[in-house]
C-alpha cells in the first residue's frame, strides 16, 4: 500500500516546478497522467523526434521527474482532444497546470470547466507571479522569482554580485513543493467537506515565505542586508565555507555557542571564544579561521569535526555526494533495473513513511506512450482511436 494509491492526477505542466510537484505525488503512489501536446516546441528543442532510439530510451530512464507517470498525447486545441480530457475528469482527483494565467481557459480545461464535471476536483495553477496582480502575465524563471522575493539579493560573496543557487529555491521549494503541500491539504479538506477547491500557487509568493526569518529580522531591526551580509549568507565566520589545503572546501555551521567553542578549540584560536557575537571582529576572525583551514585537507577536517562534535560537512561534488556513506545508507540514491539499459541510478525518495513508504514503480514514459491504453480504459475502441490519431487529436 502506498499513501496516495487511490488518487489520480492529471499533469498539464511542462517545466520543472509542476513536474517536481507531481513527481512527489507519484512517488507516493498517485496515478499521475502527463497530458502532453503531440507537437510541443519545448519538447522538440529538448528531445527531437529524429534522435537515436537508444538515446531517447536513456533520456527517459534518467528523467527522474517523469518517473511513476503515464503519458497521453492530447491536442487540447481540438474539440476531440478536449473530449478525451473531459472523460478523464470524473475519475481524477487533482489537476496541475503551469501555464500563464488564462491559457487553460482558452483551451477549455480551466477550473470552472472541470469542476462542472467533477465538483470534487482539486485544481492547482502553479505560476511565477500568480493569477492576480500587475505581474500575472509576465514570463519568468527561478532567477526572476528569487530576485523579486528578496532571496537573490542576499546570496553571494560580500561585495560581489548575487549568486543564483541553481533552481532549487524558486522552482522546486517555493513552487513545486508548495504546490504539493497545498494539494495534500486540499485533499484532506475534501475528506471532510466532499468538495474540491482551486489552488493559486505563485513561486514569487513561495520565495517570500521561504525568506520568513530574514524578513522577520528586517521588520524587527530595519536593517536591510546586502549580498553576503547576513549571518547565514557569509557574514558570520562561524557559518561559512572555508578553502582547505587540497583546494577543496569544508562547510562550518556553528551557530550555537558550544559548537562555536568546540570549533575555536580545534583551530587553536581560543581567544575568539568570547567574541562570537562581536560583529566588528568578524572579518578578523574569518581571516584567522581561513588561515587555519589551509593547514589540512578537507577530509582531514571533516574527520576532526566528527570527533570534536562540530557542525560541519565537506562541500561535495555530485560524484562525491553519491558515494557518501550516510546518504547511501539512507537511500538518497537508488539503482534501478532497466530492461534495456541495465542499472540506472536515480535519486531516492526523501520522505520516509514507516508504514506506507513511497516506491519507484516505473521509469519516465515517452510522449504518448500510454495514449492507447488510457483511451481503452475510457471505453474508446481501436477504430475510434485511429480516427482521433488521423485527425491530430492524439499521438
Helices first, then strands: H and E counts in the chain: 17, 11
Closest CA relative to residue 237, chosen from 197, 187, 289 = 289
> 300-310 burial, b for 16+ CB within 10 Å, e for fewer?
ebbeebeeeeb
Place of cell 468538495: 195
pLDDT digits (tens, 9 = 90+) for 245-289: 999 999 999 999 999 999 999 999 999 999 999 999 999 999 999
What are the E-state strand segments in the chain? 8-11, 31-36, 69-73, 94-97, 122-127, 197-202, 239-243, 249-253, 312-314, 333-338, 342-347
Confidence (pLDDT) at 82: 98
Specify the pTM.
Answer: 0.94
Residue 242 and residue 289: Cα distance in Å, rounded? 8
pLDDT digits (tens, 9 = 90+) for 15-61: 899 999 999 999 999 999 999 998 765 555 555 655 688 888 899 99
pLDDT digits (tens, 9 = 90+) for 216-247: 999 999 999 889 888 889 899 999 999 999 99
Residue 262 and residue 259: Cα distance in Å, rounded? 5
pLDDT digits (tens, 9 = 90+) for 103-125: 999 999 999 999 999 999 999 99
Please state the domain extents for the chain. Answer: 8-210+344-390, 231-323
Confidence (pLDDT) at 48: 60
CB 388 within 8 A of CB 38: no
CB 343 within 8 A of CB 13: no
Mean pLDDT of 149-164: 92
Question: Looking at the DSSP assignment, which residues form a beta bridge with residue 124?
Answer: 96, 199
CB 270 within 8 A of CB 219: no
Closest CA relative to residue 283, chosen from 245, 224, 247, 240 = 240
> Taking 60 as the threshold, does the pLDDT of residue 210 lie above it?
yes
pLDDT digits (tens, 9 = 90+) for 58-71: 999 999 999 999 99
Return the half-sphere exposure (C-beta side, CA atoms, 13 A cut-off) of residue 315. Answer: 14
Tell me the catalytic residues: 141, 171
Enter the CATH code of domain 231-323: 3.30.1540.10
Taking CA atoms, 276 is separated from 41, 229, 263, in Å, by 55, 16, 11
Phi–psi pair at 76, nearest 5 degrees: -75, 0
User: β-pairing, 8-11 with 94-97?
Assistant: parallel
Place of cell 560580500: 158
Closest CA relative to residue 90, chosen from 115, 124, 108, 112 = 115
% pLDDT > 70, the chain = 97
Mean pLDDT of 368-374: 96
Confidence label for 297 from pLDDT (cuts 50, 70 and 90): very high
CB 148 within 8 A of CB 119: no
Confidence (pLDDT) at 54: 86
CATH architecture of the region 8-210+344-390: 3-Layer(aba) Sandwich (3.40)
Mean pLDDT of 380-395: 95
What angle (nearest 5°) sits at the alpha carbon of residue 338, between those of residues 332 and 342? Answer: 95
What are the E-state strand segments in 203-300? 239-243, 249-253
Other CB atoms within a 10 A radius of the CB of residue 246 amount to 12
Amino acid at each position: 500500500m502506498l499513501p496516495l494509491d487511490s488518487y489520480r492526477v492529471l499533469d498539464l505542466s511542462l517545466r520543472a516546478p509542476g513536474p517536481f510537484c507531481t513527481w512527489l505525488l507519484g512517488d507516493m503512489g498517485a496515478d499521475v497522467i502527463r497530458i502532453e501536446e503531440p507537437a510541443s516546441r519545448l519538447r522538440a528543442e529538448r528531445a527531437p523526434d529524429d534522435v537515436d532510439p537508444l538515446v531517447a530510451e536513456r533520456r527517459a530512464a534518467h528523467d527522474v521527474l517523469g518517473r511513476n507517470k503515464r503519458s497521453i498525447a492530447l491536442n487540447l486545441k481540438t474539440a476531440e482532444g478536449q473530449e478525451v480530457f473531459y472523460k478523464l475528469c470524473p475519475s481524477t482527483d487533482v489537476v496541475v497546470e503551469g501555464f500563464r494565467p488564462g491559457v487553460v481557459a482558452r483551451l477549455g480545461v480551466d477550473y470552472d470547466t472541470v469542476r462542472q464535471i467533477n465538483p470534487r476536483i482539486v485544481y492547482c495553477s502553479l505560476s511565477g507571479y500568480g493569477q492576480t496582480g500587475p505581474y500575472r502575465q509576465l514570463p519568468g524563471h527561478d532567477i526572476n522569482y528569487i530576485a523579486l522575493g528578496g532571496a537573490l539579493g542576499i546570496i553571494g560573496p560580500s561585495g560581489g554580485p548575487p549568486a543564483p543557487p541553481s533552481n532549487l529555491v524558486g522552482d522546486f521549494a517555493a513552487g513545486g513543493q508548495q504546490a504539493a503541500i497545498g494539494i495534500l491539504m486540499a485533499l484532506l479538506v475534501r475528506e471532510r467537506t466532499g468538495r474540491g477547491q482551486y489552488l493559486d500557487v505563485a513561486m514569487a509568493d513561495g520565495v517570500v515565505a521561504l525568506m520568513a526569518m530574514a524578513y522577520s529580522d528586517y521588520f524587527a531591526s530595519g536593517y536591510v542586508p546586502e549580498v553576503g551580509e547576513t549571518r547565514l549568507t557569509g557574514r558570520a565566520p562561524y557559518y561559512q565555507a572555508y578553502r582547505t589545503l587540497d583546494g577543496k572546501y569544508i562547510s562550518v555551521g556553528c551557530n550555537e555557542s558550544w559548537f562555536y567553542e568546540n570549533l575555536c578549540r580545534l583551530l587553536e584560536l581560543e581567544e575568539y571564544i568570547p567574541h562570537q557575537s562581536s560583529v566588528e571582529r568578524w572579518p578578523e576572525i574569518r581571516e584567522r579561521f581561513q588561515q587555519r583551514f589551509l593547514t589540512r585537507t578537507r577530509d582531514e577536517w571533516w574527520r576532526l569535526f566528527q570527533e570534536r562534535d562540530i557542525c560541519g560537512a565537506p562541500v561535495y561534488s555530485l560524484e562525491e555526494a553519491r558515494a557518501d556513506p550516510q546518504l547511501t545508507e539512507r537511500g538518497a540514491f537508488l539503482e534501478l533495473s532497466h530492461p534495456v539499459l541495465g542499472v540506472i541510478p536515480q535519486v531516492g525518495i526523501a520522505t520516509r513513511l514507516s508504514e506506507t513508504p513511497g516506491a519507484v514503480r516505473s521509469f519516465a514514459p515517452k510522449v504518448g506512450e500510454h495514449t492507447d491504453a488510457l483511451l481503452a480504459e475510457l471505453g474508446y475502441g481501436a477504430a475510434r482511436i485511429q480516427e482521433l490519431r488521423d485527425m491530430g487529436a492524439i499521438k
